[in-house]
A and B are shown apart, each in its own frame.
Chain A
Amino acid sequence: MKKILYCLLTLLLFFSFNVNASTNTYERTEENNYGVKKETDYHNRLNSIMKTKYVDASEKIYDFSDILTESEEQELKLLIDAYYKKTGFDLVIVTDNVPYTDDKENEEYADDFYDYNDFGLDTKHYDGVILFRNTYEANPYYTMELTGNAQLYYTPKIDDILDTIYDEIKGKQYLNGFKHFISLLDSFYESGIPSEMEGYTLDDKGHLVPPPKEPEEYKVPTILMIISAVIGTSIFTGVNVNKNKMVKHAYEANTFMDQSTVNYTKRTDTFINSVVTHHTISSDSGGSGGGFSSHSGSSGFGHTGGGRHG
């Protein structure tokens, strides 16, 4: 009897750790304003909004693909809460299985999921990060998208972060991968806004605005001045010195040639061959670097982001 009880307990324990969490979704209706609390003109975007799952924004982890256990979710939730407390940035992890073949669709999914749920609602620009894992077998993909001020902290680090967690995500070690993801966000936050993003601001829609070009300090073009003065003066002095020299040696007798007697007996121009050479023009697109800019989600809010196959 004791044995049976022990077995039952073990079984119960086992279940309690391995039961995958289910995620609740809600219906978007006109009454609940289609689930959108953010300031957006949802009438034009109803299509996108209706396609987007409406969830409870406080859960943070939405495992539609069922790849995490309840306990794993809880573990992650603790980390996310701590992260939010520290940074004020929302952090959302979504998994789903949707048959997307285009990377853009994955990014849109992530953007819409973030924009049309109540994430980041307590900040002006809805600051936050979303990591979306599409477990679609034919084209597994994961993408991170940044919203609001999170763009300032992480935009230059996107590739770095995605590459770092690549092996774990691809190897389906999701818990480790997501934990790793959170800790990367955490440590990059601690290093502050990267120097590349210095001076960037956000506009009303949360798009990155590059820093206004600082008025450069005027520099006296010494070399240009000297070169032009040397050339100009040489011409000026040369021309004027030459005016004093009028006597010239005659080496030809053109004036005394009788033009009417010029009689050509041979005038041949024979084509020999052609040679074609080519070279590639190096496109000098200026080494000043392109800077960073946000793309708009269907909501019109600005995001930066990136993704990886795997």
Chain B
Amino acid sequence: MSNTKGEAMGTKCPACGASIDFDPKASKWKCKYCFSEFTLEEMEKVTSGSASEEKNKKKEVTKENVDYYTYNCQSCGAEIIADNETAATFCVYCGNTTILRNKLDGDFKPDYVIPFKTEKKEAEEAFKSLSKGRMFVPKDFTKQENIEKIRGIYIPFWLYDFDAFGDISGTATKIQSWTTGNTQYTKTDYYNVERAASMSFSKVPVDGSTRFDNDIMDTIQPYNYNELQKYNHAYLSGFYAERYDQDKDELQNISEGRVKKSVEMELENDIKGYATKNIKQKNINSKLTNVKYALLPVWMVNVKYKDKQYLFAMNGQNGKFIGDIPLDKTKVTIYTILCFVIIALIVLGISYLIFKL
């Protein structure tokens, strides 16, 4: 139960000093006031200069079991309240992006970032087109009014590298069948099969924040890692950002489990040309070779429908949009009955035609 007072950093235009945001389309920083554009290098000079000067002021305030931190907005000086995991937010008074610098320093300093490449309205459009090709979406679910808040958030991910080795063995069969006279013969050949291979995995992502559903974060994968950039605070302008609250050791077993499953699949799929396979022994090892911390861009869309919240997420890099849509039970019932009746009638029709012929 603590409240820490820190200093916030607003990303400012190097030319006019006004607040400046990252433009995903142009991959540049654009100033809305003086229309200046800046590249990463140009922004780095400004932001790195101010970063070292910042100091944290801590102050404890008791309020339930959550750590609250207060910051002063760099633009208007108003107080901003954020919890411990928020690394970038917006000033409720002037609306400017506020990057809580100290949240992403030291151990929390990300190694990489993939900048947003899609825009807010694309996420909105993706949400609105959810009903296309889906019969059971409730009628007004995809209405604009349902969209509570669309936020572009940099989500903390751990990226694990593994070297893995697997060894499996078992029996497999080939089956031949032929008929002589009225006797059917079946010949089953039994084989001992063994496979062993080594392979590497790079950057298996695991969402490092307990605040986001792991399955949603897994489903919007994969990101194109060719666009990984060395981390710079400047990318966060215009977006929210979170920092991890589960460290790399805590989540390693999740990625390791996935890696081992993949090794097993690879080896099993290599046993080809058999009718049946029965793996009796498997031995799969993996060794962690590297872990990196990266912020990956996600558009989060919160949808309120009939007093329930539904969370949708869009990959901020490639626009892959996912989420579970509620079912319109009336539509499901009507279409199911309709389908049943139509199929029954078709079968009736066909059987009558066959009978007539």
* Whole-angstrom CA separation of A280 from B183 in the bound complex: 4
- A228 in complex: contacting residue of B186, B259, B347, CB < 8 Å: B347
Query: Contact string, A65-92, partner B, CB cutoff 8 A, digits 1/0?
Result: 0000000000000000000000000000
Instruction: Say if the beta carbon of B246 comes within 8 Å of chain A.
Output: no
Contact in complex: B200, A261 (CB < 8 Å):
yes
Contact in complex: A255, B187 (CB < 8 Å):
no
Contact in complex: B191, A253 (CB < 8 Å):
no
Contact in complex: B191, A241 (CB < 8 Å):
no
Instruction: Say if the beta carbon of A270 comes within 8 Å of chain B.
Output: yes
- A262 in complex: contacting residue of B137, B266, B322, CB < 8 Å: B266
Contact in complex: B133, A224 (CB < 8 Å):
no
Q: A243-B136, A279-B183, A281-B184 are in contact. Are A250 and B258 (CB under 8 A)?
A: yes
Contact in complex: B221, A255 (CB < 8 Å):
yes
* Whole-angstrom CA separation of A228 from B345 in the bound complex: 10
Least Cβ–Cβ distance between A205 and chain B, in angstroms? 32
Instruction: Say if the beta carbon of B92 comes within 8 Å of chain A.
Output: no
Contact in complex: A221, B167 (CB < 8 Å):
no
* Whole-angstrom CA separation of A283 from B181 in the bound complex: 11
Least Cβ–Cβ distance between A237 and chain B, in angstroms? 5
Instruction: Say if the beta carbon of A232 comes within 8 Å of chain B.
Output: yes
Instruction: Say if the beta carbon of B276 comes within 8 Å of chain A.
Output: no
Complex: chain B residue closest to A283, CB-CB:
B182
Contact in complex: B182, A281 (CB < 8 Å):
yes
- B190 in complex: contacting residue of A272, A276, A280, CB < 8 Å: A272
Query: Contact string, B136-158, partner A, CB cutoff 8 A, digits 1/0?
Result: 11000000000000000000000
Instruction: Say if the beta carbon of A13 comes within 8 Å of chain B.
Output: no
Contact in complex: B203, A229 (CB < 8 Å):
no
Query: Contact string, B176-217, partner A, CB cutoff 8 A, digits 1/0?
Result: 000100111111111111111111111111000000010110
- B191 in complex: contacting residue of A225, A245, A263, A271, CB < 8 Å: A271
Q: A247-B323, A252-B262 are in contact. Are A221 and B339 (CB under 8 A)?
A: no
Contact in complex: A280, B182 (CB < 8 Å):
yes
Task: Give the bracket for the number of chain A residues in contact with chain B.
Answer: 35 or more
Query: Contact string, B296-327, partner A, CB cutoff 8 A, digits 1/0?
Result: 00000000000000000000000000111111
* Whole-angstrom CA separation of A218 from B356 in the bound complex: 9
Contact in complex: A236, B339 (CB < 8 Å):
yes
* Whole-angstrom CA separation of A276 from B173 in the bound complex: 13
Contact in complex: B261, A243 (CB < 8 Å):
no
- A258 in complex: contacting residue of B136, B190, B199, B348, CB < 8 Å: B199
- B195 in complex: contacting residue of A221, A226, A267, CB < 8 Å: A267
Contact in complex: B335, A220 (CB < 8 Å):
no
Contact in complex: B171, A272 (CB < 8 Å):
yes
Contact in complex: B186, A248 (CB < 8 Å):
no
Contacts of B266 in A (CB 8 A): 257, 262
Least Cβ–Cβ distance between B161 and chain A, in angstroms? 9
Least Cβ–Cβ distance between A56 and chain B, in angstroms? 54
Contact in complex: A258, B200 (CB < 8 Å):
yes
* Whole-angstrom CA separation of A298 from B40 in the bound complex: 109
* Whole-angstrom CA separation of A149 from B197 in the bound complex: 84
Sample of 10 further A-B pairs with CB below 8 A, known A241-B136, A254-B262, A272-B191? A216-B355, A243-B134, A245-B324, A247-B322, A249-B215, A256-B203, A257-B266, A268-B193, A276-B185, A276-B187
Chain A residues with CB under 8 Å of chain B are: 216, 218, 220-221, 224-226, 228-230, 232-233, 236-237, 240-241, 243-258, 261-281, 283
Chain B residues with CB under 8 Å of chain A are: 133-137, 167, 171-172, 179, 182-205, 213, 215-216, 218-219, 221-222, 255, 257-259, 261-262, 265-266, 270-271, 322-327, 332, 335-336, 339-341, 343-344, 347-348, 351-352, 355
